[in-house]
Structure 1
Amino acid sequence: MGNCYLKKNDLKSAIEYFERSLTEHRTPDVLNKLRATEKALKNQAAEAYIDEAKSEEARLQGKEYFTKGDWPNAVKAYTEMIKRNPKDVRGYSNRAAALAKLMSFPDAIRDCEQAIKIDPTFIRAYIRKANAELAIKEYKNCADTLSEAREVEAKANPNSAQLREIDQLYQKALSQRFAPLDGETYEQTMARIQKDPEVVEILSDPVMNSILQQAQNNPAALQEHMKNPAVYKKILVLMSAGIIRTR
């Protein structure tokens, strides 16, 4: 009976009879059919709920709540927006912004990752993800997110304001990452920094060692090397860590 209803696309009835079957004899085959049918019914309901006009209404409502500082209702409105149009990246990005206001940073990061998955060129999602990672002191993840964002944005809009925002946030992340801890002396700070895995990796790189030695004799050469994005990133790390000092 369950299989017959499944072929008729009457998923609710199919689920009912698969459940009846399992009460009589619990077999893996029927259990898998039940789970698959439940998932199909859930997807069917979600697709039937999609409505772009109602999604836009929910977006505007969420924006209104957000502007008023009503973060919980903003989250609810943006959740409705996502349900009505799960392909609109703004829903995930906007909800992430509201979640961040509620200090729910891991959830905000997940929403940003979903937005990036849907549209890898949506830079605002990268920036919001990086801010959330910075808030929970995931400095390496934050830097990686910003590096990815910079690569995407530099290709599309090399002179955009968002690119400058990315660079400023990157500098902030590095600054906080290598800042002295409470009660830490300068010597203790430098000892901790020199054990940082990324710093150790950079200083162990023969190419970087060659660049640094060249820069000691010719500081202008460092500027030339920094035109390479990979080298630029490593130099910024060393500068923020205090390994390279500028006058």
Structure 2
Amino acid sequence: MSEAAIAEKDLGNAAYKQKDFETAHVHYDKAIELDASNITFYNNKAAVYFEEKKYDECITFCEKAIEVGRETRADYKLIAKAMSRAGNAFQKKEDLHTALKWFQRSLSEYRDPELVKKTKELEKNLKEAERLAYINPEIAQEEKNKGNDYFKKGDYPTAMKHYNEAVKRDPENAILYSNRAACLTKLMEFQRALEDCETCIRRDPKFVKGYIRKATCLVAMKEWSKAQRAYEDALQVDPHNEEAREGVRTCLRSNDEDPEKAKEHSLADPEVQEILRDPGMRMILEQMSNDPGAVREHLKNPEIFSKLMKLRDAGVIQMR
């Protein structure tokens, strides 16, 4: 290794730190002239170009550094450094896909922990950008209409394909989840249908059909208490909805047919079992059995209220 070349590199480094990039180039060029086989000189010159925002020139010298590094069997960390710097340059040029490829190449040479994090973040951002770029409400409407046509024909698998595409094209549209839930119910995929109903309700809590579709699905599963609650939620949104009113009546009749069997089914629910195992809830239930008026105080606590409603729906307790 040429001592004179190293001396020039050191002078270049000193100028770089002072942000005297013109002088840094002069010294790095001289170092390369004295020793063209040292990857570090090319890496350093690429760094200067990067600071000058001359990203194309930076990339050129990164590629030269890699070429020289391969020929001289340089330390893989130095080759990885050239690759990651090229990636940084492409990122500055907003060519993110190419930047990602360079980062991945760099990591194949050396898994720098910081670059691993940066690469994961870039992958996440690219995926999200692609998702957002795919959104198109007009195409979503077209796909929904096609799905509706196939649904009416009874071709539920084909309808599903169109509903899936509609959701991808407009993921904030509550109606699309409702339509897909109806299709999933026809396909007897009740758990997935329930998930779509819940998403529909989260997207638009005032969309009454979301609650009714949820109830319909629960009825098909013979979850009468849960279905009744869903119909009651629908009536909270639209007190005059006749389908929800009739649904409540149907659930009450069905529950009355075999209340012990319904209760046994509800007690198998892991969530109900967990509530009943809670020492605090057992104490509250005992207090309520001794003093029915105590329930009013407990209903003020949102968490306890939610658990009591769950037990009520399961038929474990009676509340009026």
TM range (shorter): 0.5 to 0.7
- CA 1:134–1:163 in 2, change beyond 3 Å: closer, same or farther? closer
Equivalent runs, 1:166-185 vs 2, <5 Å? 166-168=247-249, 170-171=251-252, 174-175=255-256, 178=259, 180=261
What letter matches 1:102 in structure 2? L
Give the aligned partner of residue 107 of structure 1: 192
2:209 is the alignment partner of 1:116? no
- TM-score normalised by L of structure 2: 0.53
Give the aligned partner of residue 206 of structure 1: 288
Between the two structures, name the one with larger relative contact order (CA 8 Å, sep ≥ 6): 1
2:90 is the alignment partner of 1:9? no
Distance in structure 2 (CA, Å) of the matches to 1:38 and 1:176: 56
CA contact (8 A) 2:185 2:193 kept: yes
Distance in structure 1 (CA, Å) of the matches to 2:165 and 2:257: 36
CA shift for structure 1 position 209: 6.3
Counterpart of 1:25 (choices 73, 96, 110) is 110
Structure 2: 5+ residue stretches without partners:
1-85, 277-281, 294-305
CA contact (8 A) 1:146 1:170 kept: no
CA shift for structure 1 position 118: 1.1
Distance in structure 1 (CA, Å) of the matches to 2:253 and 2:96: 53
What letter matches 1:206 in structure 2? M
- TM-score normalised by L of structure 1: 0.66
Give the aligned partner of residue 72 of structure 2: none
CA shift for structure 1 position 134: 4.0
- CA 1:237–1:33 in 2, change beyond 3 Å: closer, same or farther? closer
Distance in structure 2 (CA, Å) of the matches to 1:136 and 1:122: 22
Structure 1: 5+ residue stretches without partners:
182-188, 212-229
CA contact (8 A) 1:174 1:237 kept: no
**Superposition CA RMSD, Å:** 4.1
Counterpart of 2:179 (choices 94, 113, 116) is 94
Counterpart of 1:78 (choices 121, 141, 163) is 163
What letter matches 2:252 in structure 1? Q
Distance in structure 2 (CA, Å) of the matches to 1:209 and 1:62: 55
CA shift for structure 1 position 114: 1.5
CA contact (8 A) 2:215 2:227 kept: yes
CA contact (8 A) 1:82 1:91 kept: yes
- CA 1:208–1:61 in 2, change beyond 3 Å: closer, same or farther? farther
- CA 1:79–1:17 in 2, change beyond 3 Å: closer, same or farther? same
CA contact (8 A) 2:184 2:193 kept: yes
What letter matches 2:207 in structure 1? F
Equivalent runs, 1:166-245 vs 2, <5 Å? 166-168=247-249, 170-171=251-252, 174-175=255-256, 178=259, 180=261, 204=286, 206=288, 210=292
Q: Deviations over 1:67-96 (max 9, x none)?
A: 111111111101111122112111111111
State the identity %.
Answer: 34
Distance in structure 2 (CA, Å) of the matches to 1:76 and 1:172: 37
- CA 1:175–1:48 in 2, change beyond 3 Å: closer, same or farther? farther
- CA 1:123–1:172 in 2, change beyond 3 Å: closer, same or farther? farther
Give the aligned partner of residue 151 of structure 2: 66
What letter matches 2:216 in structure 1? N
Distance in structure 2 (CA, Å) of the matches to 1:17 and 1:78: 38
Q: How many residues align?
A: 211
- CA 1:209–1:38 in 2, change beyond 3 Å: closer, same or farther? same
CA contact (8 A) 2:163 2:179 kept: yes
CA contact (8 A) 1:81 1:91 kept: yes
Counterpart of 1:130 (choices 170, 193, 215) is 215
Distance in structure 1 (CA, Å) of the matches to 2:225 and 2:114: 45
Q: Which has the larger radius of gyration?
A: 2
Q: Deviations over 1:134-176 (max 9, x none)?
A: 43455565455445x24xx42x432222441452354266457
